[in-house]
Structure 1
Amino acid sequence: MIALYYFPGNASLLPHMMLREIGAPFELRLVNRDQNAQKSPEYLKLNPNGRIPVLVDGDLVLFETAAIALHLVDTFPDAGLAPAVGTRERAEFYKWMIHLTNTPQAEYRAWFYPHEHASDEAAVPSVKQAAERRLNRMFDVISEQLGDRTWLLGDRFSAADLFLLMLIRWGRGMPRPPRTIPNLNALAERVLARPAVQQAFEAEGLKAPFV
C-alpha cells in the first residue's frame, strides 16, 4: 500500500492528484503543519528536511515532489501520465518537470518565506517584491512556451499539467496571479475539470477560489 504524507494545498497536492488519476489504492496521512508536525522526530525520520510531501511505497521512502512524481509515472506507466521512455515526448516531459520544480516552485520559497532570505528584517519586503518580479517573468515564459496548445506537451495531458496547476494555484494571492494570463487560466480550468483532480481537492478540503 502506498502512503502519502500531505498537508492540504501543499506540494503534496501534485502526487495526490496523480494518485487519483492513476486509480491505485493509497492512504493519505496528514502532517499537521499547524502543529509543526513536519518538524517532529517521527516525521524527520522520513524526511530530514522537514518538508512535505513524503511518499512511502513498500520499503521505499521518497521525499522531493518531483522525484515522487517521476516515481509514480514510472511505476504506473499504463496511467498515461507521461510519454513512453526513450521518446522525444518523454524528453519534453522531463524538461517541464525539471523546469517547474527548479524554477517557479523553488522561487515561491522566497515569496512565501522572505524572512528566510534576509538577515535584516528591513530587507524582507524587498526580498518578497523581487521574488514576485521573478515569478511573474517565469509565468510569462511558461505562457509563451504553452502558446495556444491544449497541454504543455501539446495534445497530450501529463503530470506536468497537474504540476503547473498546483503552481498556478499557489500564486492566487499575488498582486498579478498567474490565472490572469489567459492561456494559463484556460489550462488550469481544463485540469480542474478532471474528475480525479476534483476528488483530490475535495479530499483535501480545498475551497474556491481554486486558482
Structure 2
Amino acid sequence: MKLYYSKNLNPRVAVAGARYLDAPVEYVRMSPRDPKYEEAFQSINPNRFVPVLVEEKHTLWEADAITCRLSALAGSDFWRTDDEMAEMIMWISWCTHHLNTAGSCLYFYKLIHPTFSSETVDPAILNEAMLDFRRYAGILDDQLAGKTWLVGDRISYADFRVATSLPFAEGAGLPLAEFPNVQRWHEQLWAIDAWRSPFDGLN
C-alpha cells in the first residue's frame, strides 16, 4: 500500500493515524497540483488532492476514509465499530463543519498564504474565523470537562480529527490558553509520537 501525503492539515492527520496504527504503508510525499505531477496524479485522485491510499485493487482519498480502512486492517478500535461509532462520527462531522473550518482558515491565511502571496488578507475574514474558533473551542472545552478523551475512556480517531489545526496553534494564533480543557487534552495528544511528529523519518 502507498499513502500519498503532503505536510498540510488533512494529510498530516492521515499520516498521524497511519503511524499511530503502525500501518504497513509506503509513504510517498506528493504535490499533486505541481504541473509535473498533475496529469498523472489525476488518475489516482481526480480531485488532485492528498492524502490518497492506494491498494492493489482500489484507491481511497480523504483522511477519514483512509483511517477507517487502516484501522480495520489493523484490527484496532481507533476507528470505533461498536456502540461508540455514532458518537465518534458525530465529532468528526462537527469538527469538519465547525471547529476545523475556523481553524483551517486561520492556518491558511496566517501560515500558508504568506508563502505565495504578498496581498493583505481582509481583516474581516480573520476576525470572523477567530470568532468562530472561539465559539466552537468553547463548546469543545465544555464537553471535555472531566473527560480524558472525546469518546469513551480511550483514544479514538475523533481525538485526532478534532485536533486537526491545533498543532499549528502558535503560528495560526489559535488562543488555546483560553480553553484549559482543550489545552490539557491536546497536551495528552502531544505526548503521542505519531501525533506530535508524524513526519519523522519521512522526506
TM-score norm. by structure 1 comes to 0.77
Q: Is the 8 A contact 2:92 2:162 kept in 1?
A: no
The root-mean-square deviation of aligned C-alpha atoms, in Å, is 2.9
C-alpha distance in 1 between matches for 2:121 and 2:186: 34
Picking from 156, 159, 165, the partner of 2:157 is 159
Partner of 2:201: helix, strand, or coil?
Answer: helix
Gap regions ≥5 residues in structure 2 = 114-118
Q: Is the 8 A contact 2:88 2:151 kept in 1?
A: yes
- Where do 1:169-184 residues align within 5 Å? 169-178=167-176, 180-184=178-182
Matched with 2:31 is 32
Picking from 83, 87, 111, the partner of 2:80 is 83
**What amino acid is the match of 1:41?**
E
Cα gap change, 1:42 to 1:113, in 2 (>3 Å) = farther
More helix per residue = 1
Picking from 143, 146, 149, the partner of 1:148 is 146
- Where do 1:33-112 residues align within 5 Å? 36=34, 40-76=38-74, 78-85=75-82, 87=83, 89-111=84-106, 112=108
Matched with 2:116 is none
> What is the percent sequence identity of the aligned residues?
26
Shift of residue 102 of structure 1? Answer: 2.5
Cα gap change, 1:161 to 1:113, in 2 (>3 Å) = same
Q: Is the 8 A contact 1:73 1:82 kept in 2?
A: yes
Cα gap change, 1:146 to 1:38, in 2 (>3 Å) = farther
Shift of residue 18 of structure 1? Answer: 1.5
C-alpha distance in 1 between matches for 2:198 and 2:36: 21
Deviates most, 139-148 or 172-181: 172-181
Gap regions ≥5 residues in structure 1 = 116-120, 206-211
Partner of 1:200: helix, strand, or coil?
Answer: coil
Cα gap change, 1:57 to 1:195, in 2 (>3 Å) = same
